Amino acid sequence: MKQGLFESTDVPFRRGNFSCAYQWLQELTGMDELIAHLDALSAADPAHRYLSTLDDISQCSYTCGHAGQDDRLYLEESDDDAGEDDEEEEDAREAEHERASLQYRVQQLINPELMHSWQQVCGSLATSGSDVQAMLRANQAPEALLDEIVYVQRVPVAADDLKIAAQPNGYFSADWDTFQNHAIIRHLSAEWGYRFFAMGASWMGFVRATPPSAEQAQCWVDALRELYGKGNDEVLSHPGWQALAALLPERRTLMLGYTENMAEALAPEAED
């Protein structure tokens, strides 16, 4: 695995809309290596939470920028300090606004008047049988969701679910938005013990300390069936759910799509 810091003087990649970008990674051998790396960073720095990108980093940056302009998340920049600042002062003002924006998004995400529940999100994403098959394949081979470049964000928040404040996503009208994604992240953490560790343009990544039991996996897949298929017989009856229930006790990770085109993010060999 190759790696580098965004704070260095010779960075080969643009930071994009990842305001807390800390590190870039290349040549990962798989999802296990990424998770181990994130765990090591977290253990050495308990004051921060670490979030990695996942599929399609360019598209993820694009939609992250637009999702952050949601009226519920966007913090207007103050004109109080406007003036003829030199470059150093301008950079400092921009950095301060980024910090303030992050904390504003955190406060909005935990605002009871804006928060969604799991039940409210169930059935709200237009899905088909091909999406169930895509989720099965993504969980069979999660490394298919890793882009050639992975960014790691170093986020100053108090809980893992709030890491999404540094990478709000769910921009297009047919996708789950940031607040709906946050509801899923909270539920998986509180009820199922899955920690949010990665977000891409179409997929979110979760990890548990240990794999679930067969009974837990069946219960949770039944809940996912409702989440993605409520009111949709094609999705509810798809055989891929039972295959997913059999798979989850073999691994600690869970990959969930949140967009209408989630299957397109899979590597070519994983597509139909």
How confident is the model over 161-195, as pLDDT tens digits? 999 999 999 889 899 999 999 999 999 999 999 99
Q: State which residues of the chain have pLDDT below 50.
A: 269-272
pLDDT score for 223: 98
Q: What gap in Å lies between CA 208 and CA 196, rounded to an integer?
A: 9
pLDDT at 270: 42
Q: Where are the domains of the chain?
A: 2-270
pLDDT (0 to 100) of residue 269? 46
- Could you tell me the pTM of the whole model? 0.93
